[in-house]
Each structure stands twice: as structure tokens, then as C-alpha cells.
Amino acid sequence: MISKKYFDNVGLGSILEKVLAGDRLSIEDGHTLYDCADLTALGALASIVRRRMHGNKTFYVLNRHINYTNICINGCKFCAYARERGEEGSFQLSKEDILEKLRSAPVAPREIHVVGGCHPDIPLSFFEDTFTAIKKEFPQATLKCFTAVEIAHLAKIDGISTIETLERLRAVGVEMLPGGGAEIFEPETRNKICPKKIDGDSWLKIHGEAHSLGYTTNCTMLFGHVESIENRLDHLDQLRKQQDATGGFNCFIPLPFLTENSKLKIDNPLTGIDELKTIAISRLMLDNIPHIKAYWVMLTVKQAQVALHYGADDFDGTVVEEKIGHMAGATSEQVLGRKELEEMIIGCGFTPVERDAAFNEIS
């Protein structure tokens, strides 16, 4: 057990008091945490919160990712996944392709995570038809589909509002939105990395609309590119303000930028220490978001295990087939089995708990 004196000595005494009292940390506190070189102290603070919320549990889900197309009109600078229509390596799955992928999954998925590029002309009706067929064949699975960026894009293609788009998707069984597309909200930095994407306010508004319709959603932050620490803390602050207002975020996923095949060239690639600091600080700042995901695909399995001691409580899941991170140089596996996930969680001293998409425990 680290003593109060230890935290005083590394300049975190007053933050320890706030954390123990359950008080909200300010953006200034966030800067103090980033300025602290003592990674162990940061991990200890984040673990106090993580253990208060989830004890020794670490969650995982039997899930399956479906990337329906990589054809995208947005051309984000950091993205190694997207292609133009007709470009070598571009693809677009049919309804039957998608169903076939789900049928051949090694385990029956509890969660089906569907995301793709902003394709110039796939209409909403294609997805309504596909999701109806999925729900018929896989009724036990929760559909977690489309980032807020795709929702805005589909609305535009069909000439309807984002809330109408969300209503129509809800009617065919979509219950959750994944957290992608948030990147960094601050406009100047966002403009440098993804100028064609919807702005941060629109991203937050769409999640608010989804929450009002009963969806639960996730949220993310892409870090380790050209953003400043101030940008990261502002991003976390905007997420927690949105959560205060509409309350539907379930899980935050800090996404470290992977540089391979990316047009975005950076001078100082992310260090493992910065990854762990950011995960710990996310846990501490996001006092109103229940879960922090250690997404093993982007972090690597080993770093995701360490992250469980830095505030993360969720290991994501089996995943099965992942393209976005792997095209950007992710060295992790394509799939992990239930046994492997459980052994990894046990191996770092936690109790594995299988969950469904909404984080309900499965006994």
C-alpha cells in the first residue's frame, strides 16, 4: 500500500484526497497528473477508482467485428484502412457475405460490432435489410453498429435527419453505437487529422440523440499523433459533460495511434508509458463513465494486461477479424478465444467475467 506521504512527495497528495472523497478532478488536476513522472503513483490512483467500481473483475465479451466496406469518402490522414472506390484492395461486402462471416464465427457472438467506411452510395435500406436478417438468424447477439460519423453519413445519403436514421436502425434491432470517430474534438487538431469528418459537436450531438432513444453507446479518443495534452484533457472533459447531460456512455476506449501505412507523419511516436498514463488519467477524469476498455488489438495483449493495473476493467473480446488496426500495423492476433482471454485476465491477478454487449454479467 502506498502511503499518503508518498503521494505528497510526488505532488499528488491533494489529488489523492479528491480521489478518496470521490470528488471530480479539474482539467488542472489532469495537467498535474500528466506532469507527474511517477507512473506507479498514477496507476495506484486509477486502481483505487477501478477497484471501487468493479472490484477485482475484468470483463470480456464473445464478439465478432464486421467491417462491411473500406471504401470511404473522408480520407482521414491517420487512417490506413480506407480506400477509394476502384482502388486496389478496396472491398464491399454483400448481405450474404456478412451472414456467411457470422455463420463461420468460431463462437456464437453475443455482440456484433459493425463499422466501415463512409461509402458514397450504400443506402440505409441495405443495412435495414441486412440487420433484420442478422437478428433473425442470431437473436442472442446485440447489434452494435456504426460510429456517429457513419450515422451522419447515412443520414446525408438518404436525405433524412440523424435522429430519424437512429430511429430506423433501432426499429431493426440496433441497440448500441460503438465509440469510434471521436478522435480529438478540438477543432484545429481535428482539422489537421480528419478535415472531412463531422466536427466534435456533431459527434457529441449524435450520441446525445442516441441516448435519448435508449441506445447505450461507447466513446473513444485517438491519441499519440499531433494533439497536445490540453487537447486530450479537453476531449475527456467534453465526454464527461455529455455524459452528465444524457448519460448513455457505457465504456471509454483510449486508442493509441498506430503509424504504419498512415499519411500522418509524426515526430514523436507514442511510448508505452504515455499509453499507460493516458489510460490511468482517463479512468480518473471520466468519473461518470462506468468502464474503461483495454483494447488489446491496438494496445497489444501484453500492454492491455498491464493496463488492467492502470484503471482499465474491460478486455474487449474475441473480435475474430479486425482490419482497422491491423492495416495500421497492429501486431496482435486476429482472434482470441474465451480460454485465452480468461487465462490472460487471471494471469495478471484479476477475475474474468463474461459480459454481454451492455456489460450485463453472464453467469
Q: If we measure between CA atoms, which residue out of 339, 340, 354 comes closest to residue 304?
A: 340
Closest contact distance (angstroms) between CB of 3 and ligand SF4 is: 45
Residue 183 assigned to a binding site: yes
178 makes contact, choosing from ligand SF4, ligand V47, none, with CB < 5 to 8 Å by partner type, with ligand V47
258 makes contact, choosing from ligand SF4, ligand V47, none, with CB < 5 to 8 Å by partner type, with ligand V47
Q: Which helix (H) or strand (E) holds 150?
A: helix 148-158
Residue 244 CB neighbours (<10 A) = 10
Half-sphere exposure (Cβ direction) of 222: Cα atoms closer than 13 Å: 25
Closest contact distance (angstroms) between CB of 78 and ligand V47 is: 5
Residue 79 assigned to a binding site: yes
**The one-letter amino acid at 230:** E
Stretch touching ligand V47 by CB under 6 A, among 6-14, 78-86, 96-104, 300-308 = 78-86
Q: Which of 174, 222, 233, 336 binds ligand V47 (CB under 6 A)?
A: 222
Residue 72 assigned to a binding site: yes
Residue 118 assigned to a binding site: no
Q: If we measure between CA atoms, which residue out of 76, 64, 82 comes closest to residue 319?
A: 64
Q: If we measure between CA atoms, which residue out of 195, 215, 198, 190 comes closest to residue 155?
A: 198
Instruction: Compute the distance between CA of residue 42 and CA of residue 99 in angstroms, rounded to an integer.
Output: 44
Q: If we measure between CA atoms, which residue out of 249, 175, 174 comes closest to residue 218?
A: 249
What three-state secondary structure class fits 254? strand
Check residue 282 for interaction with ligand V47 (CB under 6 A): no
Measured from the CB atom, the residue of 7 and 185 that comes closer to ligand V47 is 185
Residues 135-174 that bind ligand V47 (CB under 6 A): 147
Stretch touching ligand V47 by CB under 6 A, among 6-14, 26-34, 39-47, 73-81 = 73-81
Q: Give the binding site for ligand V47 (CB under 6 A).
A: 78-80, 147, 178-181, 183, 218, 220, 222, 253, 255, 257-258, 262, 295, 298, 316, 324-325, 328
